[in-house]
Amino acid sequence: MKKVHNFNAGPCVLPREAVATSIEALKDFAGTGISVIEVSHRSKEWDAIMAECEGLWRELLNIPDNYKVLFLGGGASLQFCMVPMNFLEKKAAFLETGVWAKKAIKEAKGFGEVEVVASSADKTFCYIPKDFKIPADADYFHITTNNTIYGTEIHHDMDSPVTLIADMSSDIMSRPVDVSKYGVIYGGAQKNVGPAGVTFVIVREDLLGKVSRYIPTMLDYKTHIDGGSMFNTPPVFSIYVMTQTLKWIKSLGGLEAMQKMNQEKAALLYKEIDRNPMFQGTAAAEDRSLMNVCFVMSEKYKDKEADFMAFAKERNMVGIKGHRSVGGFRASIYNACPKESVEALIACMQEFEKLHA
């Protein structure tokens, strides 16, 4: 198998152990003689996987008992409307830090008043706004904790006078989180904890049932709580791979260990970006993401962008092209991205520097 360094922003790099176990389950799931993609989701063997997956979420994040954990379809994009449908009665407040926050804001406007308390759009979302005031009369305050396109991240669990709701699609399970500070945490698995096809939702149960509107059955969180995430057929393979990924995280020491590893990888790469005269970072230093490292060629070497992209590709660097809306480069160094890949990218940058600087 060809050795590559996978920096794709999503679907993400996954632990080799999780991939290998999942391949075996495709052939024979739990000794049933049936593939995991053929097994009945009502079987005892599948019930065991659902219970294990939820148990791992609860253990790794220390989720309180009054929160429910759901595994749904539709990606985080569906949550952009499910959240306001279930929680927005009069007004919602938002922190606008990038494309995905803007999409969430757009959907919420269809259900009530929306107040954007602060935005970093004035500088192409290269920083996280500070010193904003959260309105006390809002039904909830929505944040996007990590911005994959622009490479910024909220590194702490903020205090909020109203229910705090967070899209954690791309940094969930990368650090410890105080779940009790949030009313809802949601995200698509494919950015850090599994393949595309399953969405995680962690919701404080007492917050439900407060809006006056009719909520369609499939868009009501209560439906999926009552159905144990199996009101309809769940995305079984995606959940299976996610379970194996969470087992891998646990085996390495949990979220404290993940945070340390992620901080070390990011520090190495940002140090090289700051040192190397050919490159420059695009995010404010204090808000740099540990998951998505965004950078561009420095002004003097702007004409070398295509050359570096080709140079890196020749050295098996995959997925470092920046998002089409911003250009430049982006190295997504999620949990399962090995330190060796980061070191290989750094060596590639240094080699390019010797040839052209």
Q: What is the CATH number of domain 16-251?
A: 3.40.640.10
β-strand partners of 153: 146
Tell me if 16-251 shares its fold with 254-356.
no
Q: What token pair was written down for 287?
A: 């808000």
> What is the average pLDDT across 3-12?
95
Q: Measure Cα distances from 205 to 81, 141, 159, 224, 320 in Å.
A: 18, 17, 20, 12, 40
**pLDDT for the residue 2:** 77
Q: Which of 57, 68, 139, 191 is catalytic?
A: 191
Q: Which of 167, 171, 220, 287 is catalytic?
A: 167
> What is the average pLDDT across 20-45?
97
Q: Which CATH number fits domain 254-356: 3.90.1150.10, 3.40.50.300, 3.40.710.10, 3.90.1200.10?
A: 3.90.1150.10
pTM above 0.95, yes or no: yes
Q: Is 248 noted as a catalytic residue in this protein? A: no
Is residue 327 scored above 90 in pLDDT? no
Confidence of residue 357 (pLDDT cuts 50, 70, 90): confident
> What is the average pLDDT across 233-243?
97
Give the angle 295-299-300 at the CA atoms, nearest 5°: 120
Q: What does the domain layout of the chain look like in residue ranges?
A: 16-251, 254-356
Give the angle 104-109-113 at the CA atoms, nearest 5°: 120
Q: Which of 46, 57, 68, 100 is catalytic?
A: 100
The amino acid that residue 184 corresponds to is: V
Q: Is 265 noted as a catalytic residue in this protein? A: no
Q: Is 46 noted as a catalytic residue in this protein? A: no
Is residue 77 scored above 80 in pLDDT? yes
